[in-house]
Amino acid sequence: MNHLTAGRKPQTKKTRYSHLSSFFNFIKSNLDENFENPCAVPMMKKLFKAPKITHWNIIEKETIDEVIFRTIQPRNRLMLELMARGGMRIGEVLKLTMKDINDQKLILRDPKSGREYEYVFIPVKVAERLREYAKSVCKNPDERIFPISYEAARIMVIKAGQAVGIHLRPHDLRRHSASFASRSGVPIEIVSKIILRHSNLSTTQRYLGKITDTEASKWIENLYS
């Protein structure tokens, strides 16, 4: 099994282990009741245990709006909006240059996916303010718009959250952009491929958070009222 699954993702390893274990269980159930399933030993179960799926709590739009509106400094506010409105990772925001702005479309060079580039789409008003801010701070098109360190940006996000009484991390803003879009009726394929730029839907679904009973009742009433 180690040889067959070398270099594969944990979920792929778990799937192949499950298929092999099911095959041996079939032999035991239908051909030889004395047969011992070699996949049933504790060591094998632990080795090919499926990774635990984490579901995050999603911060509501009203709270995110308050975080942004309370942020006075233009640089910090733009960074927060790019993460919350555009679904950008903090590292992607920090790498932006003036030449990466093309109206509402931003070009991400050397993205996490390994592609040559990706595109991010942002609201018109955010794009206009970003372009004006970039012109005011960049002397040439290749300069970074936000020339600060990752740690400084992370601390800025934490302090912005503390200003409204919440614990806020940079990735919470990206998750918010996905959940807000999904709950506003945007198809999950668009959320996955355009907003989050994920390679598969299963990754996107973990971003969308849990739906409470109150939210479920609200959506059902909105749907049929």
Examine residue 136 and state whether it is found in any structural domain, yes or no: yes
Compute the distance between CA of residue 161 and CA of residue 71 in angstroms, rounded to an integer: 10
CA dihedral angle for residue 196, residue 199, residue 205, residue 206, rounded to 10 degrees:
-80
Q: Residue 38 is part of which domain span?
A: 10-47
Are residues 29 and 116 part of one domain?
A: no
Res 191: pLDDT: 83
Res 32: pLDDT: 87
Examine residue 52 and state whether it is found in any structural domain, yes or no: no
Check if the beta carbon of residue 191 is closer than 8 Å to that of residue 176: no
CA distances from 39 to 18, 44, 50, 58, 153 (A): 9, 6, 14, 38, 47
Are residues 196 and 113 part of one domain?
A: yes
Res 208: pLDDT: 66
Compute the distance between CA of residue 119 and CA of residue 117 in angstroms, rounded to an integer: 7
Are residues 66 and 34 part of one domain?
A: no
Are residues 138 and 198 part of one domain?
A: yes
Res 38: pLDDT: 85
Are residues 167 and 113 part of one domain?
A: yes
Are residues 118 and 90 part of one domain?
A: yes
Are residues 82 and 146 part of one domain?
A: yes
**What are the phi and psi torsion angles at 118 (to 5°)?**
-135, 170
**What are the phi and psi torsion angles at 109 (to 5°)?**
-95, 140
Are residues 66 and 31 part of one domain?
A: no
pLDDT digit string (tens) for the chain, length 225 residues = 777 777 777 777 777 888 888 888 888 888 888 888 888 888 777 777 765 655 567 788 999 999 999 999 999 999 999 999 999 999 999 999 999 999 999 999 988 777 888 999 999 999 999 999 999 999 999 999 999 999 999 999 999 999 999 999 999 999 898 888 888 888 888 888 888 887 776 666 666 655 566 666 665 666 566
Edge-first strand listing for the sheet containing 117-121: 101-102, 105-109, 117-121
Are residues 112 and 39 part of one domain?
A: no
Res 54: pLDDT: 56
What is the total count of domains within the chain?
Answer: 2
The three-class DSSP label of residue 52 is: coil
Are residues 129 and 27 part of one domain?
A: no
CATH number of the CATH domain containing 120: 1.10.443.10
Question: Who contacts 183 (Cβ-Cβ below 8 Å, separation ≥6)?
Answer: 219
Res 214: pLDDT: 66
